Amino acid sequence: MSIPVLAMTASDFSSAQEVRWCPGCGDYSILSQLKQALASFGVRRENIVFVSGVGCASRLPHYINTFGFQGSYGRAPALATGVKLANPNLQVWVVMGDGDACSAGLTHLTHALRRNVDLKILLINNEVFGLSRGQQSPTSRVGTCSKTSPDGSVETPLRPVSIALAAEATFVARTVDVDVNHMSEIFEKAAMHRGSGFVEIYQNCKIFNDGVFEYATDAVIKTDSIIHLEHGRPILFGKDRNHALRLNGFEPEVVTLGQGITMDDILIHDERAAEPTLAFLLSRLVGPQFPECLGVFRNVRKPTHQQLLDAAFQQGDPPRAFESLLAGDESWTLA
């Protein structure tokens, strides 16, 4: 555990670098709420590390007054794994864009998640390659017009939350850049989690993909197009919270309360379920047929990668601490 310190403010986490994103970029909101969240943790800045890859989102470590490392395209989870194993006391955050994480970095991402390395991975998803001037990305939805898909994308998009759940990540959540209170709450929950933490953030790219998440941000329509997941609560949505989800066999369906439907028919969200089956189902809901889900999909406890390594090395004769092997000058092999 990191050493607690006196109260800090968001300004304590502001670096001397000029923040340079396009005017109106959702990354400004993400950076602001992340600094607010960091200030609330009571963790020394020298015990926090941010690791990123390549892309607009990957500039973020330059703008936060902690240790940071900007690596190469897609390799941030692998670099961050090395940082965490070398010094388990550090709080390590990974910042990636959808192009960075879901193309060259997809294998690195899934392996870091399945190993349950104690990393906090933020995938900032604007469904476009922004830094390289507006090509479609692996998460671009069908019909997206871009420089590489001028007639509209015909490819099936990847769903980052579904990928994280399939990789057995122990904490999986989704939020959106303009909902600052919800985003800050998700950051705090991810930071408190021990194990692989994954947060997808819907982020508006004002220049190359403006308005793609309007259904999740417009006050008039979002109540009918977004579900806010709450642990142990029925899955309800709508202005009057009279629309709901239920299962019809293995298929989800939208129903309305009061038309022969009671609360006993409605799905109850359980983020702590051992099996991520229902969480995976919720991660696949997309419009216009279904509302999309924001909040925590999964939050379970399992031994972290570090704990499993320590246990394995303690079984040797004589017992060997993993940290001492890393720090020592003797040669060693793994069976």
DSSP per-residue string spanning 105-117:
THHHHHHHHHTT-
In a domain? residue 85: yes
Q: Name the more confident of 331 and 79.
A: 79
Per-residue CA distances from 186 to 18, 180, 309 (Å)? 26, 10, 28
**Predicted confidence (pLDDT) per residue in 239-286, tens digit:** 999 999 999 999 999 999 997 899 999 999 999 999 999 999 999 999
Residue 97's pLDDT band (cuts 50, 70, 90): very high
One-letter amino acid of 78: A
Residues for the chain: how many in total? 335
**Predicted confidence (pLDDT) per residue in 132-190, tens digit:** 888 999 999 998 888 889 989 999 999 999 999 999 999 999 999 999 999 999 999 99
Look up tokens 């990191």; give the residue: 2
How many alpha carbons lie under 13 Å from residue 145 in its C-beta half-sphere? 5
pLDDT for 1: 47
In a domain? residue 37: yes
How many alpha carbons lie under 13 Å from residue 45 in its C-beta half-sphere? 17
pLDDT for 143: 86
CB 153 within 8 A of CB 141: yes
Among the ranges 79-83, 305-309, 316-320, which has the highest mean pLDDT value? 79-83
pLDDT for 28: 96
In a domain? residue 62: yes
Q: Which domain holds residue 97?
A: 10-212
CB 133 within 8 A of CB 107: no
In a domain? residue 60: yes
- Does residue 54 have a pLDDT over 50? yes
In a domain? residue 146: yes
Q: Residue 313 and residue 322: Cα distance in Å, rounded?
A: 6
Computed over every residue of the chain, the mean pLDDT equals 92
Give the CATH number, domain containing residue 42: 3.40.50.970
The pTM (predicted TM-score) of the whole model is 0.91
In a domain? residue 175: yes
In a domain? residue 239: no
Total domains in the fold of the chain: 1
In a domain? residue 53: yes
